[in-house]
Structure 1
Amino acid sequence: MARRRFDAGIIGLGMALAPHALALRELRERVRVRAVWSPVAEERQRASRDWGFPAVSEAAAILEDPAIDVLLLLTPPGARRTYVEAAAAAGKQLLVEKPLARDLAEARELVSCCERAGVTLGVVLQQRFREAVRRLRELVVAERTGALVAAHLQLPWWRPQDYYEHGGRGRRGQYGSGVLAGQAIHALDLLGWIAGPVREVVALAATTRLHRIEVEDFVAAGLLFANGAPGGILATTAERPGFSEALHVVFERVTAVLEGARLRLHWRDGREERYGESVPTGAGERPMDFPYRWHRALLADFLDALEEGRPPAVPGREALRVHALIDALLAAAREGRRVPVPCP
């Protein structure tokens, strides 16, 4: 049976475009890019020159085109709400870059907007498609790991000052926060997906002397998971030259260590298993230095979901969980007290 071919538009043509463009190129039999737009003329020209995408002079040419049924929204979160509302009203299915919004309240509004319109909303949290992550998730779902005992996450990344001077990445009004929403959001999403929901947090957030920005570039936090297990987080973009993130999850029957795209399983009976591979993860000065195949897998799943009438692997409502955790961490740091994680 022939598969449906979708027609897509892209709004937002900055740094995040490249892995999506590579994924779209491989999936060209299933999706065709009809038009792209950015408010920056140079980005429109680059998208046409480098990727062969037809650029249009205004966003309305995409939002009002009935032939376009899928919108990839790659703008910063502070410049997103109007496009989501217009696309949902036009009946377009939406795949939106992380973070979904600047805070939990705004993210809830976008999810509700799409649900009211009856359109699909997917969020680009592509690390769920890493082989190592999916293997560990399978073990958790199959209840082979036993109960959670403890978990801790380290994200010792580096971003130079000029990274924050483009696209408003260093401004609170554009992204809502710094290292939490900009970099650690993927690892925080995996933390919740593997270890389970967090009930309560305490935190310290700061901006180091290495960056002149409005948002945090260093966060240390303590966690209490829903089952009472303790946990911790240390995330920064001030650790030059940048090192792979590592998530350690201790279960009753196994200790799992996710380091970048690699997984080590240390079973209580002495067995050891390894999955995944050593690849760049964008931890240093080159933020997009990572394989695009995870984007390809996420996009393919999104298209499958539209064709099969099911939710995508990372629907908008599920992405609210990581936004709830980020909001709680920032509130705990700001108020100097324990803060419960709000219901997403």
Structure 2
Amino acid sequence: MNDFPTARLAVIGLGMATKPHLEALEQLRGRVEVSGGMNRTRAKADAVAAAHGWRVFDDIEQIAGDPGTDGVILATPPDQRLEIVETLARAGKHILLEKPIERTLAAAERIVAICERHGVTLGVVFQQRMRPAGQRLRALLNEGRLGTLALVRVDVPWWRDQSYYDQPGRGSYARDGGGVLISQAIHTLDLMGSMTPPVRAVQAMTATTRLHRMEAEDFATAGLTFTGGAVGAITATTANFPGGQESITVAGTLGTAHLRGGELTVNWQDGRSESLGQAGGTGGGADPMAFPCDWHRDIIADFADAIHNGTLPAISGREALRVHRLIDAITRSAAEGRRIEMPEGD
């Protein structure tokens, strides 16, 4: 971390998704300070504030007008984002968003445009980018060590029981924007997109299995064509009891790399093999928060540095649009029963 003044961040939205944020912020005390918290349910805000020694903000306008707040960690459900972002960005507050940016591609693009128009830093929490094994795989691909890319496979075999979807709005288009794609698989799809050439075409299907009562999909599969000629396949579900670890397999002309959870295994065509990291928990089972806070800590620390450096964060809002475009293409392909061509220059 660079030697800069302490970043002062407010936390908006104190539900389940903020558990690793709260742990990470405790570890970052001195480098990042919390100016206060806010939640739609005041009792929740009071409880969290009392536990961590925070101030409680009454409303968004109070945060926007607070000179002691440099930026915010925004972890509300996606359907609550647009107005909040507009108010904060207009006030010059930098924003670190929990994924997804918003429910639809159009709304996500609007949020990115708002922040760019007001000149504030917008970061998105895709914490899987911070896993050392994933960073090692990205380096192997960037350096061309696996040879010419031929095949990419993504598997997200997760599990959520019905009680998860019984919570109001879960798995709905109105609140979440969809099901397994935008709420769970988005992390692994973002990680894939950060290390592969752009996807050029998608052919997909989605479904809701008999294991869940929910509006949106709990299963999705898609075939992909990448720029440069490689092909790929995606399978994502929350109906795979008891839940397994997500994986990305990348095959090139010189070797094949398999990233499963936090463990990377590389098998070279010449007979060598190597491994890095360990599987670890990533929230694929019944407990969605069964993973360490280390990756969130690194995301928040990087965001604080970006604010003070005037540089882009590790995952900027504009960069995060890439995975939103992919999910939009998968969803449209499944709904329309046809191949979807991705926009040039994505």
TM-score (norm 2): 0.96
Tell me the equivalent position of 1:232. Answer: 233
SS at match of 2:63: helix
Gaps of 5+ in 1: none
Aligned: 1:43 with 2:44: yes
> For 1:178-231, what per-residue CA distance to the aligned partner results, in whole angstroms no more than 9, with x for missing partners?
100100001001111122211111111011111111110000111111112111
Aligned-pair CA distance for 1:257: 0.2
Aligned to 1:114: 115
Runs of 4+ in 1 over 4 A off after TM superposition: none
**Residues 229-308 of structure 1 mapped to structure 2, 5 A cutoff:** 229-308=230-309
Match of 1:100 in 2: 101
In structure 1, C-alpha distance between the alignment counterparts of 2:288 and 2:137, rounded to whole Å: 25
**Is the Cα–Cα contact under 8 Å of residues 76 and 167 in structure 1 kept in the other structure?**
no
**Per-residue Cα deviation, 1:75-102 (whole angstroms, up to 9, x for no partner):** 1111101111111000011100000111
Structure 2 match to 1:190: 191
SS of 2:210's equivalent in the other structure is coil
Question: Structure 1 stretch 84-93 or stretch 50-59: which is displaced more?
Answer: 50-59
Q: Which amino acid aligns with 2:257?
A: A
* Contact 2:122/2:316 (8 A) holds in 1: yes
Amino acid at match of 1:68: T
Shift of 1:35: 1.2
SS at match of 1:174: coil
Distance 1:201 1:3 in 2: 44
Distance (whole Å) between structure 2 residues aligned to residue 178 and residue 51 of structure 1: 33
Mean CA deviation greater in 143-152 or 58-67: 58-67
2:30 match = 29
> Which string of whole-angstrom CA distances, capped at 9 and with x for unpartnered residues, describes residues 3-27 of structure 1?
2112111111111111111111111
Q: Number of matched residues?
A: 344
Aligned counterparts of 2:206 and 2:246: Cα–Cα separation in 1: 18
Asked if the contact 1:149/1:251 (under 8 Å) is kept, the reply is: yes
- Alignment deviations for residues 125-163 of structure 1 (CA, whole Å, 9 cap, x no partner): 010000100011112222222221011111110011221
Which residue in the other structure is 1:13 paired with?
Answer: 14
User: Does the 8 A contact of 1:36 with 1:62 survive in 2?
Assistant: no
For residue 57 of structure 2, give the secondary structure of its aligned residue in structure 1.
coil
How much has 1:167 moved relative to structure 2? 5.3
Aligned equivalents of 2:43, 2:218: Cα separation in 1: 29
CA distance in 1, matches of 2:247, 2:302: 26
Contact map agreement 1:158 1:284 (CA 8 A) in 2 = yes
**How do 1:113-132 and structure 2 match up within 5 A?**
113-132=114-133
TM-score normalized with structure 1 length: 0.97
Retained in 1: the 8 A contact 2:159–2:239?
A: yes
CA distance in 2 between counterparts of 1:167 and 1:30 reads 36
Give, as a single letter, the amino acid of the residue that structure 2 aligns with 1:57.
D
C-alpha distance in 2, partners of 1:301/1:34? 18
- Note the C-alpha offset of 1:47: 1.4
Which has the larger displacement, 308-317 or 165-174? Answer: 165-174
Q: RMSD value over aligned CA atoms? A: 1.4
Name 2:211's counterpart in structure 1. 210
1:67 is the counterpart of 2:72: no
SS at match of 2:175: helix
Matched-pair identity in %: 47
- Report the Cα distance in structure 2 between the residues aligned to 1:167 and 1:138, rounded to whole angstroms: 41
Q: Distance between the aligned counterparts of 2:309 and 2:10, measured in 1?
A: 21
Amino acid at match of 1:174: R
Task: State how far apart, in whole Å, the 2-side matches of 1:92 and 1:61 are.
Answer: 12
Q: Does 1:4 align with 2:39?
A: no
Residue 222 in structure 1 maps to residue 223 in structure 2: yes
Once residues 51 and 202 of structure 1 are traced to their aligned partners in structure 2, the CA distance between those partners, rounded to angstroms, is 48
Aligned equivalent of 1:153: 154
Q: Distance in 1 between matches of 2:254 and 2:54?
A: 50
Return the offset for 1:58: 2.3
Contact 1:200 1:339 in 2 (8 A): yes
**Deviation of 1:288 (Å):** 0.4
Give distance in 2, aligned partners of 1:238 and 1:16. 21
